[in-house]
Structure 1
Amino acid sequence: MRGDLLNRAVELSPWMVELRRDFHRFPELAFQEFRTSAKVAEILKSLDIPFETGMAETGVVARLGGAGPSVALRADMDALPLTECEGREYRSTVEGVMHACGHDAHTAILLGVARLLSGMELPGPIVLIFQPAEEVAGGGAAVVRSGVLERNEVKAVFGLHVTVPMEVGTIGVNREKCCASVDNFQAVIRGKKAHGAYPHLGRDAVVMAGQALVQLQSLVSREIDPLEGAVVTVGSVHGGTAPNIIADEVVMEGTVRSYLPEQRGYLTDRVKEITTSVASAGGGSAEVTVRRGSPAVVNDPAMAEMVLSVGRDFLGFDSAAFLDCPTMGGEDFSYLSEAVPGAFFRLGSGNEERGIVHPAHTSDFDVDEGCLPVGAAMMAELALRWHEEGRGRG
């Protein structure tokens, strides 16, 4: 391990904090990251690092080192449609848009990596991917479709995410299963309208929807191995026009989460089967549309071991650990780690003493910026170590 890498990252901390706060003040939604990508390009140019803009529409890709197989490091850049709470020095200047998931920090970290590695004699090529549109589960797929992995002979990819429930100065990584696949569905259940006083003249879409909802809630508990883990949630039900009218249409929307590809297909098929059969039995019909989202993130075990090893080298044995459980949250890093082996880890960014405890996707979200040098040093060392262990020659 380069003993001074973390120290150098700490020295860069004020610069990374300034960058992170700049990105935070000027957040941009998915595929609208024009200012962010321009700022990234400006910094890469100042470091004499070759780069391309327009990757996956609004992304940026940079390459350090010569020709041959490379390892990629990925950061996402987009913000969320939220209004930030008042009182912060670096509060968002864009009303209704906020970096509420830490992508401003991710971008600053990867630029920190660029600065750490620029001018170093590298053991092999390293690709930096500044990805747009993670929040809409389209950016990762767009990166893969762009051909950037093939053009750069990318053989492995690392990514991270700031994590407030973990204290700053710690990291965690899953051995294999990390994040769930995400599929959303909409079920339109149709019956026949009638007056509530004469229900026998109608076909009640509300009753059909209620029966379907109850059956869907037993889908995981009775049809999926309890040791594997999956979720089917109905989060929205809308129907009816008046208290005394039998509804002729109800719209249900929900999400399906799982870790295994075979479970993913099975569950979405069963959502369709259950809903349509219940509606048919009630004298109605149902149309179910599944909007397929990001696949599951499953870490390469050897790469996860490398993350743990680097974390313990930098932070100490007790500050880096394998995580006991994966999350049912989604993360479109999965598109990259399906294309090549990958590892995605959690970067502790919480600080209870400073009140940095609020979860992502809320208006109070923030990170302890002490995580920035840790993230930059970790990512830089992972790329260097991947080459030094001969992974690119395999």
Structure 2
Amino acid sequence: MDFAFDAHTEELRAKLLAFMDEYVYPAEAVAHEERARLASPWETPPVVEELKAEAKRQGLWNLFLPDAEYGAGLTNLQYAPLAEITGRSPQLAPTATNCAAPDTGNMEVLAQFGNDEQRKRWLEPLLAGEIRSAFAMTEPEVASSDATNITTHIRRDGDEYVINGRKWYISGAMDPRCEIFIVMGKTDPDGPDIRRQQSMVLVPRDTPGVRVVRAMQVFGYEDHYHGGHAEVVFEDARVPVSNLIGEEGGGFAIAQARLGPGRIHHCMRLIGMAERAIELMCRRAVSRTAFGKALAQQGVVQNWIADARVAVEQLRLLVLKTAWMMDTVGNRGAHTEIQAIKIATPRTVVSILDRAIQLHGAGGVSQDFPLAELYAGARTLMLADGPDEVHQRSLARRELKKYL
């Protein structure tokens, strides 16, 4: 295994680091001020569009997409350190570079499974950053950690599908630029194979019968920069059969293909969050005095910082190994490693952010520092893309199988 960055990755890292210093970090306060003056909290602050234009001009655009026809053509191992850098400002940097979820996963689905017409209608404007999208799978009435539980019904009626169901925490759906939903539901609810009951269909937001009910909060945050998280109801919403992605019964397999790269993206961005937390801890520790000496001289603070550095180095190596395996043996071959990073990374980064908040005292839970919002995002990723316990269950079964 060789995790050294190649020349192309180093070039992109240098450009991205400079872009963060020169444009993104200064824009954080500006975006906050601009949002307060907007007519709707779901509108995009002008500075975000300026960041997108600059990122596109510098070639820091669609870095996540491995398909060279549509994206940057980077491997998982090449993209991973770039995702880490954008994770240092998760509210702005992923959107600025058109590498923000859920659009990334939706673009991957359309690039890999969509037909020519679907790519032309939806993928191209997403790649250009002209529209946003949402992925509608999670439901409030069932344990959606088991995707076979979903109850949304997709019934064929002649040349149309009729969709009925209720979804929630549908990321991006509050953004007025969100024009398309990828909806996962059951086309064959009584089929003998529970993993062949589901399908995915494209549902334009303006389809009659699609109703965005409310914005969902995450630890009190509404995640405006990511287009929010909505509860959405589908009531006899009709779309053409041609809006089916792939084949009937292929929804579960498409979802699994979508989630593999997404977990790499999430975990590397989490490491970026942890790096920013360590930086903030160190700056705070050398600038504040308590009980007659700098916080940096307090043994407990030194332990927190040292432990955080060790943990981040361990996590980064594990995630890079996973990225390398995905590139060399595929998602299936890297299944154990993908689950391992999904378990280890969020919980470790939550712990680091918790210490950083503690070190900042009241400031740590305030809006004057990014730590509280970073904590909310990291803690949520112990649930998103499958809760930790589901991955632990699967990973343990794979380990035990060797001895049975």
Q: Settle same-fold status: TM greater than 0.5.
A: no
Which structure has the larger Rg over C-alpha atoms?
A: 1
- Please give the TM-score of this superposition, normalised by the length of structure 2: 0.28
Name the one with the larger helix percent: 2
The one of the two structures with greater contact order (alpha-carbon pairs below 8 A, sep at least 6) is 1
Name the one with the larger strand percent: 1
- Please give the TM-score of this superposition, normalised by the length of structure 1: 0.29
